[in-house]
Structure 1
């Protein structure tokens, strides 16, 4: 009986050591996953930009003038009384991705369910871009005011609400979101990507 106990304990110990080894990715697997994630974010960036060009006449000109464009293709907002939102995106300068970022916001108030939206930030000036890239965490309202752009009565982007520093579009599945607020949204660089 004692021999069986020793064998059982030894087998259980060997299994405990082997199982975590099976699930721990090798460094090459981890870098492959990171590459896949970057490609997914970049593909989402491109598709969100295409949607924006269709939904907001005049947005292409604003994008071309921006010093940097930060897009979060899928920001999931969920909650039941206490909620929050989270998404990952990338910053492009001169048409090239220069970093990946996450966005998060917490909220308290009556809410239920979940929804997804895309957020497009246009960083308009060189100084705004420098300030954004030099900080580890950047918050809407605290570090910069962000003007939410909308469509005017003529069907074009209404630039009268543009701040001249950082502007944003918020898109849902049905088009541009009216009355959106990004106050308190925090953006942080993803160093792991």
Structure 2
């Protein structure tokens, strides 16, 4: 019995170590192989963005008012009590021109188990939000800086163009519609080297 309890206590520690080590190597390997992997990343980001716009009318409304849109086409989240998220994304201007490439990471604690993959789009509504993203030398820790509203189905229904007051609107999607119970607090977004 004691061995089993000790094993159960070690699982979150091992998962956290694996998640953190994979997050670090993933972003650095992405940076070093950026030239070979970016066309594929860009295409995946464009496809995810088109799918969001096609299925979510409020995202289409925001697109017309946004200064830029940061799209992470494949964020992977996994954990058992301690979890992690990681994914690479592309920043687009209103005309679809690529402005940069970014990495998203997060570590979370609490009641959680399993793994999932989803997409995330962040509509930067003000030039100040875009400047903050680009001026944070060691990355943007979401929850510090520009105000971010996570759009779920309920929030999207009640939002109108006259109630737009936040700097950033985030959509988490791609698993099955807009995902409930998902947040962006604690995410760190860092620009990848060119």
TM-score w.r.t. length of structure 2: 0.75
Tell me, yes or no, if the aligned pair for 1:148 and 1:162 is still in contact at 8 Å. no
Is residue 169 of structure 1 aligned with residue 171 of structure 2?
yes
Q: Summarize deviations over 1:131-170 as a string: whole Å, max 9, x none.
A: 22111210111122210123349xx654268542111100
Is residue 83 of structure 1 aligned with residue 121 of structure 2?
no
Higher strand fraction: Structure 1 or Structure 2?
1
**4+ residue runs over 2 A deviation:** 30-36, 150-153, 160-164
Tell me, yes or no, if the aligned pair for 1:149 and 1:157 is still in contact at 8 Å. no
Q: Secondary structure at the match of 1:58?
A: helix
Residue 150 of structure 1 aligns with which residue?
Answer: 152
Residue 8 of structure 1 aligns with which residue?
Answer: none
Any gaps of 5 or more consecutive residues in structure 2?
Answer: 1-29
Residue 113 of structure 1 aligns with which residue?
Answer: 114
Residues 83 and 90 of structure 1: is their aligned pair in 2 closer, same or farther, counting only changes over 3 Å?
Answer: same
Residues 190 and 175 of structure 1: is their aligned pair in 2 closer, same or farther, counting only changes over 3 Å?
Answer: same
Residues 159 and 31 of structure 1: is their aligned pair in 2 closer, same or farther, counting only changes over 3 Å?
Answer: closer
Where in structure 2 are the equivalents of 1:129-144 lying within 5 Å? 129-136=130-137, 137-144=139-146
Any gaps of 5 or more consecutive residues in structure 1?
Answer: 1-29
